[in-house]
Structure formats: structure tokens, C-alpha cells
Amino acid sequence: MFVKAIFFLTLAASAVLAAPGPRSLPSGTVTCGSDKYSVSAITAAINAGVKDQKSGNLPDDYPHQYYDESSEDITLYCSGSGPWYEFPIMPDGSIYTSTSSNYVSPGTDRVIFTSSGTYCAVVTHTGAASYDGFVACKGD
């Protein structure tokens, strides 16, 4: 009886202390405003952001740190407490790049990820309460 009680207490404690694992990529299309993104487009944007971050190539200062604002009501299911990074995801399927001599707007939509490339969310400025605020995209 005593051994059984210890086992159940240990099991309960480990369940409470277990940290959530990395978030899975969406199972289907994600919609930000009128733009739709496939899982492969999301993955490509994350990979480009991680590559640019590691190489120091920061077109128009992307990727840069994303700050989780509670007023935006976006849930990030990333492990740990950050830092998280944002990188534009482009509606035409291209990978975002911009230079001072050839400026390209980053648009309204972003992928959020960890420095190791773990997916966190897809967010958009479209429909946000403030100019530089975000809302979660549908299907994320």
C-alpha cells in the first residue's frame, strides 16, 4: 500500500512538473486576412528566418525579437519563455528579402519561432487593435 501511494504521488508530481513539448505545425492551411499559407510555406519562412539570424543577414531588420503582448490574446505554445523571433511570410510564396537599394515591404503576416527553429505561431497585423499589434491567424 505504501509503495503504491509513493508511485501515484511520484506520477502526479511528474505530470505537474512536465513542461509542454514543442508545438506542432498546423494540420492544414492557415489564413491571415485574405492570405492563405500552407505548412510548407510556414516551414520555408521559419527556415529562412533561422538561416538569416545565424548568418547575421537581417533584411530590413528581420528576423527580430517578438514580444508576447497579453493584450493581443495570442497563445504561443513554444517551450520556455523566449526569446521568440518574427519573420515575414509572403503571400506570393517567396522568401522575404530586402536591401536598402531594393526595399520590399514585409507585408502584414509573420511566423513566430524560437532561435532553434521551433514553430510557435502565425500572426498578422490585419485586424489588430493597434497599428503594430498582431492577432492570431485562423487555423493556427
Question: Which residues are the active-site residues?
Answer: 64, 86, 125
Q: Which of 122, 115, 129 is nearest to 36 (CA)?
A: 122
How many Å apart are CA 127 and CA 115, to the nearest integer?
27
State residue 7 phi and psi, 5-degree precision.
Answer: -60, -50
Say how far apart CA 61 and CA 110 lie, in whole Å. Answer: 13
From CA 30, how far away is CA 53, in angstroms rounded? 24
Number of H helices, E strands in the chain: 2, 7
End-to-end, the C-alpha distance of the chain in Å comes to: 46
Output the nine-digit C-alpha cell for 132.
503594430
